[in-house]
């Protein structure tokens, strides 16, 4: 199978999937390495396909799924990460990403797409049992999240709860 054919098939699979599709599943299906799938996804995203990487795999951005968004600044250590994520999703927000401002590299962003406790558990399992550190480790705990909810009132409530818990500020 040619690279372009594989990418077309990946796109078709993602468009038909109702859940995120793990990169390892795609790699097994096409009998290629996970790195090849990562490169395929990067090429598809660069060609304007709305593919979202999540903690559980890849998925297409749902049509018309955009609510209102806000960037919140937060600072905490490892002990606050689960609480922060659970607080946001329990109040009805989706955590789209994490962003840190590095003194040398500038803005570094990681897509999260966390919208429920199961997503939080999967993300925390990867952090706690993997070999990677959270991005906020680069900035002594300071980081930002882009969050999305159905209305401004929900974002206001989330921001207030984060401010009380962690000292968050809207950007």
What DSSP character marks residue 162? H
10 Å CB burial of residue 114 (0-12, 13-18, 19+) is: buried
Residue 79 annotated as binding?
A: no
Tokens representing 120 are 């939080």
Residue 86 annotated as binding?
A: no
Residue 145 annotated as binding?
A: yes
Residue 143 annotated as binding?
A: yes
Distance CA 74, CA 48 (A): 30
Q: Which residues are annotated as part of the binding site for Ni(2+)? A: 76, 84, 143, 145
Q: Which residues are annotated as part of the binding site? A: 76, 84, 143, 145
């Amino acid at each position: 199978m040619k690279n372009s054919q594989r990418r077309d098939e990946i796109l078709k699979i993602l468009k038909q999937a109702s859940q995120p599709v793990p990169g390892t599943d795609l790699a097994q299906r096409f009998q290629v390495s996970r790195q090849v799938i990562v490169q395929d996804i990067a090429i598809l995203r660069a060609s304007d396909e709305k593919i979202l990487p999540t903690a559980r795999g890849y998925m297409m951005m749902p049509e018309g799924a955009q609510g209102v968004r806000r960037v919140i600044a937060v600072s905490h250590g490892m002990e606050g990460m689960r609480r922060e994520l659970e607080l946001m999703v329990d109040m009805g927000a989706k955590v789209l990403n994490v962003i840190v401002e590095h003194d040398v590299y500038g803005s570094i962003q990681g897509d999260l797409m966390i919208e429920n406790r199961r997503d939080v558990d999967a993300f925390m399992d990867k952090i706690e049992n993997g070999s990677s550190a959270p991005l906020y480790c680069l900035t002594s705990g300071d980081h930002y999240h882009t969050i999305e909810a159905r209305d401004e009132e929900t974002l206001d409530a989330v921001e207030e709860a984060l401010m009380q818990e962690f000292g968050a500020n809207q950007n």
